[in-house]
């Protein structure tokens, strides 16, 4: 994953897996509130379409138009890409799923988008999915350094030791990041917590 551009292989695989998971949803499913506050499952999918089609220059122009308000920027993106029927939005996602355009952000943000938003959609629908652990851990490392105001969890992680109970080091011990009182959970739950998601209380201890 360290080779330039190697992250796209994982992102493309995650997009394809999500498309497969969503093909047979009914109308009620599409209107289900996602883990992303204020957005339905359909809204999150529209955001993923917008994310896949965003270019570096386009991102700068759109952020300027939104007066550097990331929430407003994201909402405009949803409104631009959300089709009248969810299956049309899903079809559009299929058309752009193999793109490699991106906002001018680190490669790890692609993992955050694919994995966190994948769970935003899947968990409320009761759909289970296994993510590549290296990608989840790279996303955690990124979110630990990213301010809450920009969608990360730097302030949450400050002064705490994050222990991924399902990831181990070379000597067989649970993977831990940081120092201080421990926050324990599976890697995916730690990532969601760092990304501001209101996950089940027992997921983090």
- pLDDT, one tens digit per residue, over 1-21 is 445 578 999 999 999 999 999
Q: Name the least confident of 46-50, 101-105, 174-178.
A: 101-105
Would the pLDDT of 60 be above 80?
no
Q: Is 162 helix (H, G, I), strand (E, B) or coil?
A: strand
Please tell me the predicted confidence (pLDDT) of residue 149. 87
Looking at residue 171, the DSSP 8-state letter turns out to be T
Q: At what angle do helices 56-65 and 70-81 cross, to 10 degrees?
A: 110
| Helices of type H across 82-199 | 86-96, 108-125, 133-145, 154-157, 187-194
Residues near 76 by beta carbon (within 8 Å), at least 6 away in sequence: 62, 65, 66
| Residue-wise pLDDT tens digits, 66-118 | 665 667 778 888 999 999 999 999 999 999 999 998 887 889 999 999 999 99
Please tell me the predicted confidence (pLDDT) of residue 71. 73
Q: Is 104 helix (H, G, I), strand (E, B) or coil?
A: coil
Please tell me the predicted confidence (pLDDT) of residue 102. 82
């Amino acid at each position: 994953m360290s080779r330039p551009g190697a992250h796209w292989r994982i992102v493309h695989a995650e997009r394809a897996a999500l498309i497969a998971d969503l093909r047979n949803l009914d109308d009620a499913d599409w209107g289900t509130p996602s883990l992303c506050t204020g957005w339905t499952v359909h809204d999150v999918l529209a955001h993923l379409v917008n994310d896949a089609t965003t270019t570096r220059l386009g991102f700068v122009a759109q952020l300027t138009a939104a007066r550097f308000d990331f929430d407003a920027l994201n909402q405009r993106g949803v409104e631009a890409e959300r089709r009248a029927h969810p299956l049309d939005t899903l079809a559009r996602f299929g058309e752009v799923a193999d793109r490699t355009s991106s906002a001018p952000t680190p490669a790890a943000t692609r993992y955050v988008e694919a994995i966190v938003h994948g769970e935003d959609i899947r968990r409320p629908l009761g759909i289970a999915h296994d993510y590549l652990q290296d990608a989840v851990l790279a996303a955690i490392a990124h979110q630990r350094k990213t301010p809450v105001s920009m969608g990360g969890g730097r302030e949450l992680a400050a002064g705490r030791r994050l222990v991924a109970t399902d990831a181990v080091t070379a000597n067989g011990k649970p993977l831990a990041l940081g120092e201080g009182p421990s926050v324990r959970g599976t890697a995916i739950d730690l990532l969601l917590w760092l990304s501001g998601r209101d996950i089940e209380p027992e997921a983090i201890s």
